[in-house]
Amino acid sequence: MAQRGAVLGRTALVAVAALALAACGGGGGAAGGGGDVTSIRVLDYYNNEPDRSVYARTLDACGQQAGVTIEREVVPGASLIARVLQQASSRTLPDVMMIDNPDLQQIAASGALAPISDFGLSVDGYADGVATASTYEGQVYGMQPVTNTIGLFYNEDVLAQAGITPPTTWDELRTAAAPLTQGQRYGIAFAANATYEGTWQFLPFMWTNGGEETDIASPQVAEALQLWTDLVQSGSASRSVVNWTQADVKDQFAAGNAAMMVNGPWQFPPLDKVEGLRYNVVRIPVPQSGDTQVAPLGGETWTIPQTGDAARQAKAAEIVACLNSDENQLALATERSTVPTKTALREQFVAQVPKMAAFTEQVQTARSRTQMLGEKWPEAATRIYTAIQTALTGGASPQQALQQAQNG
């Protein structure tokens, strides 16, 4: 009976205050100090299968190796940051903490994380973008075992029937999407909703065309947005894209309502369960053939918070290092349909999991979202999805929409 709350009830802001209130209580607990470390507290948001049990197994194995038991807390993705902030202010941060990579700089900036160099760890040999995402002001604060990005999924049967090969350039994408649109089916689906997901899906188009988040009113960004706008206004993509999450896009593709879609490899498990669906993945089309693809890097990074207990932190570092061992990078990547972050592992990985070839290739030149703007990224991401929505709903031309968003 939500409606029965008191007058000032559940405005979001009161919730913030409640967080602060919770912060005032608690305290202590974590910092035991000295003594033998027998258990390590871990916080992450892998609450869906197969991720949940894959990480449970890997963490337990790493704990065994380090001689500690793992006390794992799994929270839903949306509440991770709230939990981290609450624990930060009550000084009850876990020993090992997973953070979505674009959030790392926010948390590192607060001083709550220990640089991994304190424990003799480094990210040498990692893909550049991945290392950058875990770096704040020259110090590395996290190690990311696997990464992911988005590619272009296509329905093999539908494309074969229409005699169309998967598009590699924007022009090919336009000309392929039109005839693939028939009856109930749209040529392509993507997510352009009013969240960072919408921004994330747009980034490969914007970055590959030379657009930068530091100046979104540039012609390069406008051209990319023009492509999306054309796809929607010509009817090759549904107008509903402005309200679709990536999961909705996957559902449309799985139901045969879209011949192609922009999405990530985490959709493999649900797609593989769809009977009669044959699909494959290629790189996201580039503006001109020969252009270098620049895709955004996804995935989570593992950090060691400043708990004030050197012995526990050292054990925590062992766990983080173990999660990032060659063996575990490959195992996690294979089981979770992600890409190992150590460049040396790539060839071996693609040989093992050919389906991940397109994604692995994209990751080599991919970029982290916080590389240029750091803590300011959320603000820019909001502007970008607002401009996308304005242009796609016909509120303004792509150029004007981007200019408005930049000024706003």
Please tell me whether residue 390 binds other proteins under the rule CB under 8 A. yes
Judged by CB, which is closer to other proteins: 255, or 344?
255
How far apart (Å, rounded) are the C-alpha atoms in residues 157 and 132?
Answer: 40
Interface stretch with other proteins, choices 43-51, 68-76, 86-94, 278-286 (CB under 8 A)? 86-94
Vertex 402: Cα angle to 396 and 404 (nearest 5): 75
Judged by CB, which is closer to other proteins: 136, or 349?
136
CB environment 186-205: b (16+ within 10 A), e (fewer): bbbbbbbbeebbbbbbbbbb
How far apart (Å, rounded) are the C-alpha atoms in residues 382 and 193?
Answer: 11
Please tell me whether residue 25 binds other proteins under the rule CB under 8 A. no
Please tell me whether residue 220 binds other proteins under the rule CB under 8 A. no
Out of 59, 85, 249, 320, the only residue in the binding site for other proteins (CB under 8 A) is 85
Interface stretch with other proteins, choices 13-21, 116-124, 222-230, 324-332 (CB under 8 A)? 13-21
Vertex 59: Cα angle to 56 and 62 (nearest 5): 150
Out of 59, 107, 282, 286, the only residue in the binding site for other proteins (CB under 8 A) is 107
Please tell me whether residue 20 binds other proteins under the rule CB under 8 A. yes
Please tell me whether residue 68 binds other proteins under the rule CB under 8 A. no
Judged by CB, which is closer to other proteins: 3, or 292?
3
Please tell me whether residue 57 binds other proteins under the rule CB under 8 A. no
Please tell me whether residue 195 binds other proteins under the rule CB under 8 A. yes
One symbol per residue from 155 to 184: x for binding other proteins (CB under 8 A), - otherwise; what is it?
A: -----------------------------x
Out of 52, 54, 110, 325, the only residue in the binding site for other proteins (CB under 8 A) is 110
Please tell me whether residue 6 binds other proteins under the rule CB under 8 A. yes
Out of 148, 193, 229, 324, the only residue in the binding site for other proteins (CB under 8 A) is 193
Please tell me whether residue 351 binds other proteins under the rule CB under 8 A. no
* Minimum CB–partner distance for residue 237 and other proteins (Å): 11
Out of 208, 301, 341, 386, the only residue in the binding site for other proteins (CB under 8 A) is 386
Three-state SS letters, the chain: CHHHCCCCCCCHHHHHHHHHHHHHCCCCCCCCCCCCCCEEEEEECCCCCCHHHHHHHHHHHHHHHHCCEEEEEECCHHHHHHHHHHHHHCCCCCCEEEEEHHHHHHHHHCCCECCHHHHCCCCCCECHHHHHHCEECCEECEECCEEECCEEEEEHHHHHHHCCCCCCEHHHHHHHHHHHCECCEEEEECCCCCCHHHHHHHHHHHHHCCCECCECCCHHHHHHHHHHHHHHHCCCCCHHHHHCCHHHHHHHHHCCCEEEEEECHHHHHHHHCCCCCCEEEECCCECCCCCCCCCECECEEEECECCCCHHHHHHHHHHHHHHCCHHHHHHHHHHHCCEECEHHHHHHHHHHCHHHHHHHHHHHCCECCCCCCHHHHHHHHHHHHHHHHHHHCCCCCHHHHHHHHHHC
Out of 58, 389, 398, 402, the only residue in the binding site for other proteins (CB under 8 A) is 389
How far apart (Å, rounded) are the C-alpha atoms in residues 373 and 396?
Answer: 26
Instruction: Please report where in the chains the tokens 């071996």 appear, as a residue.
Output: 348
Please tell me whether residue 352 binds other proteins under the rule CB under 8 A. no
Out of 31, 47, 48, 82, the only residue in the binding site for other proteins (CB under 8 A) is 82
Judged by CB, which is closer to other proteins: 23, or 314?
23
* Minimum CB–partner distance for residue 373 and other proteins (Å): 12
Interface stretch with other proteins, choices 56-64, 82-90, 150-158, 278-286 (CB under 8 A)? 82-90
Residues 235-264 within binding reach of other proteins (CB under 8 A):
238-243, 257
Please tell me whether residue 96 binds other proteins under the rule CB under 8 A. no
Judged by CB, which is closer to other proteins: 107, or 320?
107
Which residues are near other proteins by CB under 8 A?
Answer: 1-4, 6-14, 16-21, 23, 81-82, 85-86, 88-89, 106-107, 109-112, 184, 193-196, 238-243, 257, 378-379, 382, 386, 389-390, 392-393, 395, 404, 407-408
